[in-house]
Amino acid sequence: MPRVSVVVPSWNTRGLLQACLASLRRQSFRDFEVVVVDSGSTDGSVEMVEQDFPEARVVALGENRGFSGAANAGIEATDSELVALLNSDTEQDVGWLSALVAASDAHPEAGMFASRMLSLHDRRVLDGAGDALRASGLPYRVGHGEVDRGQYSVKRYVFGACAAAALYRRRMLEEVGLFDEDFFAYCEDGDLSFRAQLAGYRCLYVPDAVVYHAGGASSGGGRSPTATRLGTRNSILLLVKDLPAPLVPATLPAFLAGQMLRLATSAATGTLSAHLAGLSEVPAMVPAMLRKRRRVQKLRRVEVEYVERLLEASSREARRSLLRRAKDRVLSGIGG
């Protein structure tokens, strides 16, 4: 049995997937298997993998179950101690997996490990350095759009890991559960990170684990109707499911302010209809989230005060990142 299973969900991204798998062949760490989970692609992705990458195993779903469903199918098809998830629109530095595994050995208290993600198209620009959850309840990928000046070159604990390039302990996944397939895509990794934190598993950001990420290859990008609708809906469902009840009163003002800001932003960027569509889907999904909430809160091992400090620190880090990103846009024009 390999020590690590690298699961790559894929849906009609043949060219990007080919580059992703080629970069995995160059990894310095070798004790791993590759599992490509195909969600009913029609672009010849499966045939390409079978012909060009016979070392990879294909799990063909025959339908699009979203990132959550594909990731879960890959995890369930493997038995390794560690599971790495990769988006098909990524390429990995040669030492990416080695750095993550070394971090897992050195930090047994952590159940999740986040990569340092750079833009595939402009490698001067960060795509992410660990995930945050703001006081408003809105997720944020720390470092996104900032010029990489080494500001995220030190290991640190973060709220969560972006599942586009992350490592998880299987025993943690078995305890807290896999990705929520009701989310389909977007915020499913934030939900998993929140559940893991509640159960006492920390997330470590590993700066030496470098990945280059295009982003939005399957959904059409962060401002696409699909991304907007799912992001709007799922960011609310995440709080319904995971936020401990004692923190609701203190969180509510920031949450409402964040929702108003998001509404204004969607109106300004031409995504209002998709945003409203996401909001309209929330009420019908709340009962299911409340049922799941009972199990999530039952598994909570940490004190409410720990969660409060975690969210406050996460929100501060997101604010600092947003300020640096704005400054980079003004000074250089490359912080997209």
Tell me the two tokens of residue 259: 């929702």
What does the mean pLDDT of the chain come to? 94
Q: How confident is the model over 46-92, as pLDDT tens digits?
A: 999 999 999 999 999 999 999 999 999 999 999 999 999 999 999 99
Q: Which helix (H) or strand (E) holds 101?
A: helix 96-106
Rounded-to-integer distance, Cα 291 and Cα 309, Å: 26
Tell me the two tokens of residue 290: 């409340």
Tell me the two tokens of residue 187: 């915020």
pLDDT(31) > 70 = yes
Rounded-to-integer distance, Cα 330 and Cα 224, Å: 25
pLDDT(35) > 70 = yes
CB atoms within 10 A of CB 62: 8
Report the DSSP beta bridge partners of residue 91.
212
One-letter amino acid at 225 equals P
CA distances, 97 to each of 78, 121, 190, 210 (Å): 17, 21, 22, 9
Secondary-structure breakdown of the chain: helix, strand, coil percentages, each rounded to the nearest 5: 45, 20, 35
Average confidence (pLDDT) over 34-57 = 96
Q: Which residue has the tokens 């969660």?
A: 307
**Domain map (residue ranges) of the chain:** 225-304
Q: How confident is the model over 96-155, as pLDDT tens digits?
A: 999 999 999 999 999 999 999 999 999 999 999 999 998 788 889 999 999 999 999 999
Residues written for the chain: 336
